[in-house]
Amino acid sequence: RFIGLEDVESPSILGHCNGIVCLSPCSDNLVLCNPTIKEIKLLPKSDLPDWWGCAVGFGYDPKSKDYKVSRIATYQAEIDGLIPPPRVEIYSISTDSWREIKNNSLETDTTCFFPDYFQMYFQGICYWVGYEQPKQSVEYEDEEQKPMVIFFDTGDEIFHHILFPDSFYMYEEGSAYAYEMSYIMYTDLRIMLWNGSIALFGFNRFSAFPDSYGVWVLDGFDGAKGSWTKHLTFEPLGGIKRVLE
């Protein structure tokens, strides 16, 4: 049950699930809010150290029948020449506590996967737009980052990833600029539902005038694999230049 608090200052919405909203106020704490019964719960402080940034996800685990908040802490500064992998902790409403888990597929021998802004929860899975980056890097370079969808199974507590549509990775050998340009063609990338399927929605800044939006639908998705099909391209309404959810 949620415990009422008198005041939460300047909250921003991180995600929502089954009528419960996860908020981030000015402080380091997270808050869960149930608007229907007008009660909120302040989560305990994280056990992880203050790192460079944290990606937060919120959803329902149908296996344990429990609500979970996932916190993925990242630290971009190099340690001994390597970018350290993210650390993950999970908060459960049933225990009202955090516990750290293995990062479960958020790294390979040479790269790390970094979730960015939380997009949505759907059928036991939390989704972020994120990227893969080499662990060893002389200095931070945008073109070293490979954008992708990163998702977390709330039941198995394992991360997976799916590459964006092929058009996002147009690359000419020896030309980092070609790779970078193919990605930045689309901005305000969002993961959304389209007729019950996972879809990617983005704004094409470099299309012929006027600018346009593109929608790709994820086909044959089985929790780890799938392929993208471009569903449509359409022009925004006059003066509308930003994706709204």
Q: What is the distance between the alpha carbons of residues 136 and 131, in angstroms, rounded to a whole number?
A: 15
Interstrand relation of 125-134 and 111-122 (parallel, antiparallel or unpaired): antiparallel
> Which tens digits make up the pLDDT trace of 203-220?
655 544 445 678 889 987
- Among 57-66, 99-108, 167-176, name the one with the lowest average pLDDT: 167-176
Q: CA 125: distance to chain centroid?
A: 11
* pTM, 2 dp: 0.82
Q: What is the mean pLDDT of the chain?
A: 78
CA angle 175, 176, 177 (to 5 degrees): 90
CB atoms inside a 10 Å sphere around CB 86? 23
Q: What is the pLDDT of residue 8?
A: 59
Mean pLDDT of 75-84: 72
Q: What is the pLDDT of residue 17?
A: 94
Among candidate residues 36, 41, 35, 34, the one with its CA nearest the CA of residue 8: 41
Q: What is the distance between the alpha carbons of residues 122 and 197, in angstroms, rounded to a whole number?
A: 10
> Which tens digits make up the pLDDT trace of 119-155?
999 999 999 988 888 887 655 555 567 888 999 999 9
The rounded percent of the chain whose pLDDT value lies above 70 is: 69
> Which tens digits make up the pLDDT trace of 155-177?
999 999 998 887 776 554 444 44
Mean pLDDT of 28-47: 86
Sheet holding 212-219, edge to edge: 186-194, 197-204, 212-219, 227-234
| Strand partners for 22 | 15, 32
Q: What is the distance between the alpha carbons of residues 29 and 45, in angstroms, rounded to a whole number?
A: 6
